[in-house]
Chain A
Amino acid sequence: MIPASFDYSSPKTLSEAISLLQQHGADAKILSGGQSLIPLMKLRMAAPKHVVDINGIDGLAYIKESGGFLTIGALTREADVDASQLVHDRYPLLADTAGVIGDPLVRNLATVAGNLAHADPANDHPATMLALGASVVATGPKGARTIAISDFFTGIFTTTLAPDEILTEIRVPMPQAGSGGAYLKVERKVGDFAAAAVAVQITLDGGSFTSAGIGLTNVGPMPIKATRAEKALVGKPAVESTIVEAARIAAEEADPAEDLRGSVDYKRSLVRVLTARALRLAITRAKGEH
């Protein structure tokens, strides 16, 4: 399979990349890891006239804590996230997620930013970032703006990014003491998208939930923030009855469609079971027992 012809630029700076995007408008596509874009171009489901390869821009590959956030640069690969001790120690939800995306070869190229910008409801990071309450930085001709992840996705494969904006950074709030998270995914095989997956991030104080974030992957036309299930946790003791009730509500909030990966009922029950399991794991992590 061979993509349609296109012109190619490999700008060395962000401002050069942005002016290329301005110049070519909707005809241009940003290329980062290429692990979603290139397969689509080979299938000719995407045929941009101009490809702006941002891989040559220095200074966009980093993962570090600063200013109260974990900041992840646009060119940080899944493999870099997976290899980060900081992420494993303090952001287990993110470490879980990076480890189940595609396969090791895909993870060597695929970026977290591309995973969000692509806005496929089957992608794993959107739910994780919803659970973490992350935000993204979009840089365009007028400078940078910060977008809450809950305002970022607008539909299947669509976001609030303008065609001349680049997602340059992801910001995850630093966890408070007593926080823990987990991402659990059911996939038919390595490298497959989720039949369903659940991201959970919680904070405990004195045995009760003081905050809760729950995101659902591939059980709706958009990544879902299970806000009713979150509400069912906050202020309640971290005991089995609370967990089971929140899991039941999360399954109600899912809006899956039947496909090769399973029926609507099956996927809903996956959401229920995975939510409960992810909560239990997040709790043990919050208590430092895992």
Chain B
Amino acid sequence: MTTRKITVNVNGTPREGEVEPRLLLVHFLREDLSMTGTHIGCDTTSCGACTVLLDGKAIKSCTAFAVQADGREVMTVEGLEKDGKLDRIQEGFHQEHGLQCGFCTPGMMMTTYALLKNNPSPSEHDIRWGISGNLCRCTGYVNIVKAIQYAAQKPAE
């Protein structure tokens, strides 16, 4: 099968690739770009561990092709921290112990990033509704909600 040249702006940097059309966006990130922050949990569009932002919208990168991101912007968990300083969302998950095994965390944080951008002061209901596509098998969500509330109280960078 023929490959295609793509250029994807990942966390502000243009990244080129030569990909088969069937390559999933998550595999492009993890394998071609060695950015393993984005996780694969279920591979069946159920868990949200693979959440990234595509042109600012939170999507499941296991359910999009890399070719679809050509010429567009992708933000991954690696894009949160700036110059060694944690983003307010990372800080919130740290402070409020919003994780146990950490597997769901990159996806949770990316969903949170989009959520807070659209709704800077969400209610608890808004938060629970907003993360309803991201599954966590460890925490019971209580501390995740607190982590997001913590982040929401801090000014965005």
List 10 additional contacts besides A8-B67, A104-B129; criterion CB under 8 Å.
A1-B44, A7-B1, A7-B2, A8-B4, A38-B45, A39-B45, A39-B63, A42-B24, A105-B60, A105-B133
User: Is B146 positioned at the interface, with any CB of A under 8 Å from its CB?
Assistant: no
A118 to chain B, nearest CB (A): 14
Find out whether the CB atom of A4 lies under 8 angstroms from the CB atom of B22: yes
User: Is B57 positioned at the interface, with any CB of A under 8 Å from its CB?
Assistant: yes
Q: With A5-B20, A5-B22 in contact, do A106 and B65 touch (Cβ < 8 Å)?
A: no
Nearest CB to that of A102 among chain B residues? Answer: B133
* In the A-B complex, the 9 residue pairs with the closest CB atoms: A103-B133, A8-B21, A105-B133, A5-B1, A190-B132, A108-B57, A3-B22, A38-B63, A104-B133
A-B contacts at CB below 8 angstroms, number: 80
Find out whether the CB atom of A42 lies under 8 angstroms from the CB atom of B43: yes
CB under 8 Å from chain A, chain B span 1-59: 1-2, 4, 20-22, 24, 27, 43-46, 48, 51, 57-59
Nearest CB to that of B131 among chain A residues? Answer: A104
User: Is A65 positioned at the interface, with any CB of B under 8 Å from its CB?
Assistant: no
CB under 8 Å from chain B, chain A span 59-85: 79
Assembled-state Cα–Cα distance A51/B21 (Å):
9
User: Is B130 positioned at the interface, with any CB of A under 8 Å from its CB?
Assistant: yes
Find out whether the CB atom of B132 lies under 8 angstroms from the CB atom of A108: no
User: What interface size band does chain B fall in?
Assistant: 20 to 34
Find out whether the CB atom of B46 lies under 8 angstroms from the CB atom of A191: yes
In the complex, chain B residues whose CB is within 8 Å of the CB of A190: 132-133
Q: With A6-B1, A39-B45 in contact, do A108 and B63 touch (Cβ < 8 Å)?
A: no
Find out whether the CB atom of A103 lies under 8 angstroms from the CB atom of B132: yes
Q: With A8-B65, A102-B133, A103-B133 in contact, do A109 and B59 touch (Cβ < 8 Å)?
A: yes
Assembled-state Cα–Cα distance A188/B57 (Å):
26
User: Is B111 positioned at the interface, with any CB of A under 8 Å from its CB?
Assistant: yes
A112 to chain B, nearest CB (A): 17
User: What interface size band does chain A fall in?
Assistant: 20 to 34
User: Is B68 positioned at the interface, with any CB of A under 8 Å from its CB?
Assistant: yes
CB under 8 Å from chain B, chain A span 6-32: 6-8, 10, 31
User: Is A53 positioned at the interface, with any CB of B under 8 Å from its CB?
Assistant: yes
Partner of A7, one of B21, B63, B65: B21
User: Is A2 positioned at the interface, with any CB of B under 8 Å from its CB?
Assistant: yes
Provide a sorted-by-A list of 20 A–B residue pairs whose CB atoms are within 8 angstroms.
A7-B1, A7-B21, A34-B63, A34-B68, A35-B45, A38-B45, A38-B65, A39-B44, A39-B45, A53-B67, A102-B133, A103-B132, A104-B130, A104-B133, A105-B51, A105-B59, A105-B134, A106-B133, A109-B59, A191-B132
In the complex, chain B residues whose CB is within 8 Å of the CB of A2: 22, 24, 27
Contact with B along A88-102 (1 / 0, CB 8 A): 000000000000001
User: Is A55 positioned at the interface, with any CB of B under 8 Å from its CB?
Assistant: yes
Contact with A along B100-122 (1 / 0, CB 8 A): 00000000000100000000000
Partner of B60, one of A4, A6, A8, A106: A106
Assembled-state Cα–Cα distance A35/B132 (Å):
17
Find out whether the CB atom of A103 lies under 8 angstroms from the CB atom of B67: no
Nearest CB to that of A192 among chain B residues? Answer: B46
Nearest CB to that of B134 among chain A residues? Answer: A105
Find out whether the CB atom of A103 lies under 8 angstroms from the CB atom of B63: no
In the complex, chain A residues whose CB is within 8 Å of the CB of B65: 8, 34, 38
Q: With A2-B22, A7-B21 in contact, do A109 and B1 touch (Cβ < 8 Å)?
A: no
User: Is B64 positioned at the interface, with any CB of A under 8 Å from its CB?
Assistant: yes
Find out whether the CB atom of A53 lies under 8 angstroms from the CB atom of B130: no
Assembled-state Cα–Cα distance A117/B24 (Å):
23
Assembled-state Cα–Cα distance A4/B21 (Å):
10
A220 to chain B, nearest CB (A): 25
B112 to chain A, nearest CB (A): 12
Assembled-state Cα–Cα distance A5/B21 (Å):
7
